[in-house]
Amino acid sequence: MATLHYPYARHPEPGSTLEIAPGVRWITMPMGGSLNHINLYLLEDTHGWWVVDTGLALPEIRELWHRVFDSALGGKPVVGVICTHMHPDHVGQSKMITDHFQCPLYMTRAEYYQARAFSGGGSPHSSWASREFYLRAGMPGEYLDELRRQWEQRSSDGMSMPEMPGGYRRLQHGDILHIGGREWQVVIGSGHSPEHACLYSASLKVFLSGDQILPVITSNVSVHPTEPEANPLKDWMQSLDELLALPSDLLVLPAHNLPFTGVRERLRSLLSHHEDRMLAIEEHCTKPALARDLLPVLFTRRLDPRQMMMALGEAIAHLHLLMHRNRIERTLHEDGHYRFRSIDPDLARRAHPGDHEAPSESPVLV
C-alpha cells in the first residue's frame, strides 16, 4: 500500500516561521489536548502578507502573533486574513489581526454567518430541541445537565466562539486569489463544517487543506442538535470524492499534524475508513440499536460528556448516511428513543463483525 510522506519531521516552534514553499511560511500556535497545535500559514504578497487561519482566542496566542508581526513580516503589514472555516481554533484571532492591520477577513458565507451565530454566547444545550435530540439518541436526562455544566467551563479554555469581525469578503468555489504573482484557487468542501475553504496553487503544487484533509486524525463529522436531521457524512464523502481529482503530486499543508504528500492515498483511506465504520454499524443494527449503543463500535475509551457529544454526533452522522442509502430504518418508540435496524435480510449471514478496523480511542475535538 502506498504511504504518505512527511518532508518535515517536526513543526516550527510557536511564534517562529518556516518557509515551506516559495512565498509560503508555516507557523504553529499551541492548542491543548492531544492535538498539541494548529498549523497556520502566511502567504507573501507584493506589499504585505495574507494569513491563513488564526489560532485560538487566548491571550498567549495573541502574544505569539505580535511576536510574528514584529519579527517575521519584514516590516510589511498583513493585508488579508483567510479563515478556512468557523471553528474556534481557526477564527479565534481573526478579529485581533483584522483590527490590528485594518485589513479584511475572507471566508465563505456559510462559515462566516455560522461563526457569527455561535459567537453570540448562550449555551446551545438548554433548549427543548437539544433535550429531545439527546433523548432520541438514548441518553438519560442527566447527561444534558452535565454537558451544560462542561459547556459553561469551556469558555475559559479558548474553545468557545470568539467575537468575529463585523464584516467579511466572500469566498466562493472556483474564485482565484492573486497573491504575490501567483494564483490561489478556492476549493470548497463540506461535512466537517458547512462550507470549508481550501486553497490550491497549481504552480507551487501546494494545497492548503485546513481540516478538510488531515493526514493522521480523521476530522469530526457530526450531527448536532441545531440541525438534527442533517446528513453531513454524505457531504463529507462527496467532498472527498471530488478532491480525488486533485493532482497526485501535491504538498498538502493541513491545519493539524504535519505537511504531507500522498493526497489521493489519504483521501482513499479516509473514504474506506468511513465505509468500514458504516458497515460495522449496519452489522450491529441487525438487532435494533440506539445511537448510544453504537459508541463502542466507534470508540474504545470511556468518554467525558463533551467527547460523548462529538462521538454521538459522529455515530448519528453514520446512521443518517446509512438511512439515506436505504440500508437501515429508524423508528421512534414510546420511551422517546430512536431505534435503528438493518433492512437487509441477508446481512446477518454475510457480516464479518471481527474484520473491521479497530475502534478509535476517542473522537478528535476539532
Site for Zn ion in 156-185 (CB under 5 A): none
Q: Give whichever of 208 and 289 is closer to Zn ion, judged by the CB atom.
A: 208
- Residue 365 buriedness (CB in 10 A; 0-12 / 13-18 / 19+): middle
Q: Choose, by CB under 5 A, the member of 25, 87, 182, 337 that binds Zn ion.
A: 87
Q: Give whichever of 87 and 274 is closer to Zn ion, judged by the CB atom.
A: 87
Q: Give whichever of 78 and 366 is closer to Zn ion, judged by the CB atom.
A: 366
Q: Would you count residue 52 as binding Zn ion (CB under 5 A)?
A: no
Q: Would you count residue 284 as binding Zn ion (CB under 5 A)?
A: no
How big is the CA angle at 129 (ends 359 and 322), to the nearest 5 degrees? Answer: 40
By DSSP bridging, strand 251-254 and strand 206-210 are parallel
Q: Would you count residue 197 as binding Zn ion (CB under 5 A)?
A: no
> For Zn ion, which stretch binds (CB under 5 A), given 17-25, 87-95, 282-290, 328-336?
87-95
Q: Give whichever of 17 and 218 is closer to Zn ion, judged by the CB atom.
A: 218
> For Zn ion, which stretch binds (CB under 5 A), given 29-37, 79-87, 223-231, 337-345?
79-87
By DSSP bridging, strand 196-201 and strand 78-82 are unpaired
Q: Which residues of 304-337 are buried (b: 16+ CB within 10 A; e: fewer)?
A: ebbbbbbbbbbbbbbbbbbbeeebbebeeeeeeb
- Residue 234 buriedness (CB in 10 A; 0-12 / 13-18 / 19+): middle
Q: Would you count residue 211 as binding Zn ion (CB under 5 A)?
A: yes
Compute the least distance from the CB of residue 366 to Zn ion, in Å: 4
Q: Which residues of 103-163 form beta strands (DSSP E)?
A: 105-107
* Grid cell at residue 208: 492548503
Q: Choose, by CB under 5 A, the member of 139, 208, 289, 366 that binds Zn ion.
A: 366
Compute the least distance from the CB of residue 8 to Zn ion, in Å: 22
Helix (H) or strand (E) holding 201: strand 196-201
Residues near Zn ion (CB under 5 A)? 87, 211, 366
